[in-house]
Amino acid sequence: MMRCKKCNVDLGEEYKRCPLCGSPAENEEPLIKGQRTAEYPDIVYRKNPPWYFGIFSAVYLISSAAAIAADCLINKTVSNAMWAVFILPCVWAIVFRPVFIKKLYFGSYIIHDAVYLSLLMLWFSKSHLGNFGPAIRFGIPLLSLSAAVILFVGLFFFPQRRKNAATHLIAIGACNVLLLVICLAYGYTPWWCAAAVAVCAAIIAGLCVAMPKEIRDELAARFRV
């Protein structure tokens, strides 16, 4: 039995040092009888994981801000595309992702890809909406359609993800309603946006018919005030 004479405390049977003062433990009769050491496992100390995503986000935001600044200085204006490049990922990362995605399922990656690919498109394209036109008219709606269809097919293989898919589709549909309004405001034919909205709405309606209580419950949880 071990004790620390300096602190005057009993120690675990296997202790070589006092955890309080670091003094060597001494083999003496304990004052408290009938206790046995409850062992803890050996732990491998692990450092914090590196900030990969933080670094990526910082580089992206700084380069976007630099592009906007360069646009201001060289062209004496800031194009819609530049703003979009800067703002869209921020809105997505801050607002949509935490609200609509419980976990990074495959469908979530599709939606992420949709956002980032459309950003690439708008960066290189030109039209009446700054550089944003093709992305609004074709890029985002087409990718949304693909995401919705993939989610729909996935529902047959992963029934437990149906409720989550409903909120994804609401997010995708809401984005495309916004794009549809923009298209109409700028005088473009909004076929692709309308198609994406219609597909999302049809799948959501189907889900609501198939599992009304679950979907209502999910929406009540997600959007309750």
Q: Write out the residues near another protein by the rule CB under 8 A.
A: 4, 7-12, 14-21, 30-32, 35-43, 45-48, 94-95, 98-99, 102-103, 213-214, 216-217, 220-225
Q: In the bound complex, what is the minimum distance in angstroms from residue 103's beta carbon to another protein?
A: 7
Whichever of 26 and 217 has its CB closer to another protein, that residue is 217
CB 141, CB 196: distance < 8 Å: yes
Minimum distance between the CB of residue 225 and another protein, rounded to whole angstroms?
5
Residue 91 CB, nearest approach to another protein (Å): 10
* In the complex, least distance from residue 142 CB atom to another protein, rounded to whole angstroms: 27
Residue 161 CA to residue 145 CA, distance in Å, equals 19
Taking Cα atoms as reference points, which of 177, 168, 215 lies closest to residue 196? 177
Using alpha carbons, list the distances in angstroms from residue 31 to 15, 73, 110, 181, 182. Answer: 16, 79, 65, 80, 80
The CB-of-164 to another protein minimum distance in angstroms stands at: 10
Between 112 and 222, CB nearer to another protein: 222
Tokens of 120: 């690439």
Residue 136: CB atoms within 10 A of its CB come to 28
Across 36-77, the runs of DSSP E, i.e. the strands, are none
Q: Quick check: 27 and 4 in contact, CB under 8 A? A: no
Would you say 10 or 155 has its CB closer to another protein? 10
Task: Indicate the residue among 10 and 200 with the shorter CB distance to another protein.
Answer: 10
Nearer to another protein, 18 or 111 (CB): 18
